[in-house]
Amino acid sequence: MRSIRPSPGAATSGALLGTALVLALTCATSAAQAQQSERGGGRAPLVLKEQGMFYLGGDIVHTDAANGPNGPTFLGKSGDIAINQMYVGFMLPQSEHGAPIILMHGGNLSGACYETTPDGRMGWYEYFARQGHAVYLPDQVSRARSGFNVTPFNEVAAGTRTPSELPNLLVLTKAASWEVFRFGPSLGTAFPGEQFPVEAIDELAKQSIPDQNAEFESPPGTNLTPTRLAALGVKIGGAVLMGHSESGFYPEQAALVDPTGLQGLISMEPATCNASTLAAGQIAKLAKIPTLVVFGDHLADVPTTSVNWPAALDDCQKYVDAINAAGGDATMLHLPDAGVFGNSHMLFQDKNNIQVGRMVLSWIDQHVGGKSHKS
Amino acid sequence: MRSIRPSPGAATSGALLGTALVLALTCATSAAQAQQSERGGGRAPLVLKEQGMFYLGGDIVHTDAANGPNGPTFLGKSGDIAINQMYVGFMLPQSEHGAPIILMHGGNLSGACYETTPDGRMGWYEYFARQGHAVYLPDQVSRARSGFNVTPFNEVAAGTRTPSELPNLLVLTKAASWEVFRFGPSLGTAFPGEQFPVEAIDELAKQSIPDQNAEFESPPGTNLTPTRLAALGVKIGGAVLMGHSESGFYPEQAALVDPTGLQGLISMEPATCNASTLAAGQIAKLAKIPTLVVFGDHLADVPTTSVNWPAALDDCQKYVDAINAAGGDATMLHLPDAGVFGNSHMLFQDKNNIQVGRMVLSWIDQHVGGKSHKS
């Protein structure tokens, strides 16, 4: 399955332009047949050494609101509970090649978004494991299988806290996701050549998990997920950390917390790369880790009132340039510039998700390397 | 791994007493070495045809509160969102033997509870797949990766709904779970011979997901999970449905909704089997499906003020008797009566979880059968 990978060393220098070109050449040729071979009945067995889950971090705290006023009384309301933990699912291939990969999901979603796609195809969680990578699939702190702190909710219900103190709960409407994720000009109308499987928009809506980050209002530092991701890299003993959208810049934030477990940083479609606010010392720290930034197509074809995608691309290009100027190895992969067209914000769910996934793995092989043929 | 299974037909009659006796004899002998062989480095590869997830059911509804008053404004508050969907993870073995199994978790938990145990051992999700069963792992509706409806929460935050209308959010305190799950007489003190890995109590606490069921107060019929489970059985094309604790009687509730996809019903430690309230017509309907009820040890050794376990056992024995009197095939497996001692309420996480899991699989083989050696 990796036969189309460029020969070793073909793109090890000239990271900025060279890699994009090589990726374009290697991926355009055999993308169609590769995409087909990953689907349907002809699939080879998935051979794992182990799979499972663990929780990372978390605090045991006392609460007097483990249950609300309308709940069953016999289980008690006061005692110690866990908060701030992070759920991490994982698959370890029997025959491991290349660096372990952490797949961090974005806003309003959970790790499920990297499993089967909304239209029922293989997602990157399984695909990367089939390509020999140990893959780790967390849910962000306070979301999905990571749970969340019930205390403020039950205190509002009990009247001991004001309603305005409720944590914000965000889900995206179908219309908002259609626009922000760049499926087309308006709900129900797709861009020509759009790669997102728009017929499965309702299945994408079902992946929505209430998002408590409210990150645009929160003071910096209140989001625990980057800290947990740094600790996850250390626990694994080294991994490539990938973020998307809301979590698009979490890899870099995690590396600023503790870079020791992070072998590579992949930022998929962050709304900003903070090029104008990072200090020189931070850039120098981040420049020690190979970095890939990925953007899809149609960046300028949706209103900029929700997310300004062209500005995000510009900002991240400045970030890539700053990392390289500091002696780092950063690559901007803007898919249309590499000859791959029609990708939405949800490029790991798009119809050509295996093609894009292979491009990401090629970058990892060339720029990170990692564990080789451990079995 | 299944070499200790009794010879075919050994317990096909006299289900009520015979099976328990056979299980006791077959399981007591080689339990220790079997448990050991399932753990640690000597594990064989897990060979899967496929794994992934899908969402089952769900409604697309309009809301004006997709986001709270403290959330980012640019994403919009009004539009269509999905509610009431159920997340279902799955693993399909490359070589499939026996009936597919649905593992439904209990209150305040998610499907994660059947993955790796709190002390890091293999859970039933992987164990059952290794034994050749297709295994399906849902999160209950309105919990974990199934998401939940943000509208009432954000309406309270916005002041358009009163705080008393907040859905109840329940988690168990460590002290409550210690008592209700029968780890020992009081938090920190285990029963002699206790099988739950009590040193991992904090890891169990991290598995807590806020539970909106408030089932003891809700009017019957408001819980959508049994309906989704019935639909899941149909989608799979037939499965054994297992419930635990809060969901202990969901298999029977699902069968009353639609029995066509349910080949076997397994109730682990329900608080009640509703023996006194089910009508004769309902018993007749349920008697068409083989049924196993499982209880652990120390039922009488914790206060009855939270859950009255001896009463639950009595009620479920009456239910088993009623099913058998109606011509059905129901088995009560009270583990101490089968020579297996020390099991907690969390018997699928206990230190002898593989031993108990094998007893459950033996029952499935003998009473349900299922797909044989499909590959």
CB A254 within 8 A of CB A241: yes
Handedness of CA A308, A309, A311, A315 (dihedral sign): positive
CB atoms within 10 A of CB A333: 23
Give the closest-approach CA distance of B137 to chain A in angstroms: 12
pLDDT at position A76 is 86
* Cβ contact, residue pair A147, B74, below 8 Å: no
The residues, ordered by sequence, that sit 6+ positions from B356 with a Cβ below 8 Å of its Cβ are B294, B335, B340, B343, B347, B348, B350
Q: How many CA atoms lie within 13 A of B133 on its CB side?
A: 30
Structure tokens at A333: 């992969």
Out of A63, A82, A174, closest to residue B80 by CB: A174
Give chain B positions within 8 Å (CB) of A140.
none
Interface residue of B171, B179, B207 to substitute, partner A, most A CBs within 10 Å: B171
The answer for residues whose C-beta is within 8 angstroms of residue B278's C-beta and 6 or more apart is B286, B319, B322
For the record, the structure tokens of B212 come out as 């909106």
Q: Smallest CA–CA separation between A90 and chain B, in Å?
A: 10
Question: Alpha carbon of B214 to those of A68, A69, B219, B326: distances in Å?
Answer: 9, 10, 10, 33
Cα angle value A288/A55/B109 (rounded, 5°): 150
Distance from C-alpha of A365 to C-alpha of A5, rounded to nearest angstrom:
9
**Searching chain B, which residue's CA lies closest to the CA of residue A53?**
B116
Chain centroid offset of residue A159 CA: 38
Q: How far is CA B271 from CA B185, B216, B248, B253, B314, in A?
A: 19, 11, 8, 14, 11
The reported pTM is 0.90
Residues on chain B touching A80 (C-beta within 8 angstroms): 173-175, 205
**From B118, which residue of chain A is nearest by alpha-carbon distance?**
A54
DSSP-H helix ranges across chain B: 15-37, 124-130, 151-158, 174-180, 201-206, 225-236, 250-257, 280-286, 309-325, 353-367
pLDDT of residue A80: 98
> Testing the interface with B: which of A169, A207, A216, A245 to mutate, by most B Cβ within 10 A?
A169
Chain A residues with CB-CB distance to B55 below 8 A: 203, 206-207
User: Inter-chain contact A81–B144, Cβ cutoff 8 Å?
Assistant: no
Tokens of A32: 């169609």
Contact assignment for A209 to B145 by CB distance below 8 Å: yes
Q: What is the largest CA-CA distance in chain B?
A: 67
Q: Which amino acid is at B116?
A: T
Name A217's Cβ contacts closer than 8 Å, sequence gap at least 6. A168, B70, B71, B72
Q: A90, A245, A210: which is closest to B146 by C-alpha? A: A210
Nearest to A116 among B53, B148, B169 (CB): B53
- Rounded CA separation B287/A171 (Å): 43
CA torsion sign, B79 to B80 to B85 to B90?
negative
Please check the confidence at residue A181 and state whether its pLDDT lies above 70.
yes
Contact B68 A94 (CB under 8 A): no
How many CA within 13 A on the CB side of residue B335? 29
Ranges in chain B, pLDDT < 50? 1-41, 216-220, 372-375
Query: How far B1 CA sits from the closest chain A CA (Å)?
Result: 17
Interface contact B116-A166, CB threshold 8 A:
no
Of A309 and B15, the one with more pLDDT = A309
| B122–A52 CB contact, under 8 Å | yes
> How many CB contacts within 8 angstroms connect chain A with chain B?
271
**Å between A77 CA and nearest CA of chain B:** 8
Taking CA atoms, what residue in B is nearest to A155?
B163
Phi and psi based region of residue B92 (left: phi greater than 0; alpha: psi -120 to 50; beta: remaining): beta
CA distance A289 to chain B (A): 31
Contact A52 B126 (CB under 8 A): yes
CB contacts of A87 in chain B (<8 Å) are 112
Give the residue from chain B lying closest to A108, CA to CA. Answer: B147
Substitution target from B105, B173, B212, B245 for chain A, most A beta carbons within 10 A: B173
Contact (CB<8Å) A171/B67: yes
- Residue of chain A minimizing CA distance to B83: A206
pLDDT in tens, A245-290: 999 999 999 999 999 999 999 999 999 999 999 999 999 999 999 9
Residues 6+ apart with CB under 8 A from A325: none
Q: How far is B188 from chain A (nearest CA, A)?
A: 13
Contact A347, A334 (CB under 8 A): no
Q: Is the pLDDT of residue A232 over 90?
A: yes
Number of H helices, E strands in chain B: 10, 10
Question: A346 forms bridges with which residues in the sheet?
Answer: none
| Torsional class of B338: left (φ above 0), alpha (ψ -120 to 50), beta (otherwise) | alpha
| H or E segment to which residue A88 belongs | strand A86-93
- Residue B137 has a pLDDT of 98
Query: CB-CB: which of B82, B158, B180 is closest to A205?
Result: B82
pLDDT at position A149: 96
What's residue B306's pLDDT?
83
Whole-number pLDDT of residue A58: 96
H/E segment holding residue A60: strand A59-63
Task: Give first-to-last CA distance, chain B, whole Å.
Answer: 19
User: A137-146, A355-364, B63-72: lowest mean pLDDT where?
Assistant: B63-72
Measured CA to CA, the distance from residue A19 to residue A26 in angstroms comes to 10
Q: Where are the beta strands (DSSP E) in chain B?
A: 46-56, 59-63, 79-83, 86-93, 101-103, 135-138, 239-244, 262-268, 291-295, 330-334
The single residue listed with the structure tokens 């339990």 is: B31
Comparing CB atoms, the residue among A154, A210, A306 nearest residue B75 is: A306
**Cα separation values, A340 from A20, A145, A175, A361, B242, Å:** 11, 35, 26, 16, 46
- Higher pLDDT among residues A72 and A34, named by residue: A72
Q: Which two tokens stand for residue A367?
A: 């720029």
* Mean pLDDT for all residues in chain A: 88
Tokens of B229: 């489970």
Distance from CA of A305 to the nearest CA of B (A): 7
Q: At what angle do helices A250-257 and A225-236 cross, to 10 degrees?
A: 70
Contact B306 A74 (CB under 8 A): yes
CA-based nearest residue in chain B for residue A41: B49
Bridge partners (DSSP) listed for residue B292? B266, B331
Q: Do B170 and A82 touch (CB under 8 A)?
A: no
Q: How far does B229 lie from chain A, in Å, by closest CA?
A: 17
- On chain B, the residues whose CB falls within 8 A of the CB of A134 are none
Average pLDDT for residues A10-22, to the nearest whole number? 36
Are A106 and A244 in contact, with CB atoms under 8 Å apart? yes
Asked if A306's CB is within 8 angstroms of B79's CB, the reply is: no
Contact by Cβ (8 Å): A289, A240 = no
d(CA A211, CA A202): 18
Residue from the list B82, B207, B216 with its beta carbon closest to the beta carbon of A202: B82
Nearest-angstrom CA–CA distance, B271 and B245 = 6
pLDDT given at position B371 = 59
A217 contact residues in B (CB cutoff 8 A) = 70-72
Reported as a single tens digit per residue, the pLDDT across B166-204 is 999 999 999 999 999 999 999 999 999 999 999 999 999
CB contact under 8 A, A80 and B175: yes
Residues of chain A positioned with their CB less than 8 A from the CB of B307: 74
Determine the Cα–Cα distance for residues A268 and A88; give it in Å rounded to an integer.
Answer: 20
Coil vs helix vs strand at A264: strand
Measured between beta carbons, the chain A residues lying within 8 angstroms of B111 are 145
Whole-angstrom distance, CA of residue B60 vs CA of residue A201:
11
Buried b (16+ CB within 10 A) or exposed e, A120-159: ebbbbbbbbbbbbbbbbbbbbbbbbbbbbbbbbbbbbbbe
CB contact under 8 A, A175 and B81: no
Whether residues A147 and B116 touch (CB distance < 8 A) is answered with: no
CA distance B373 to B375: 6
Q: Give the whole-angstrom CA distance, residue A91 versus residue A137.
A: 9
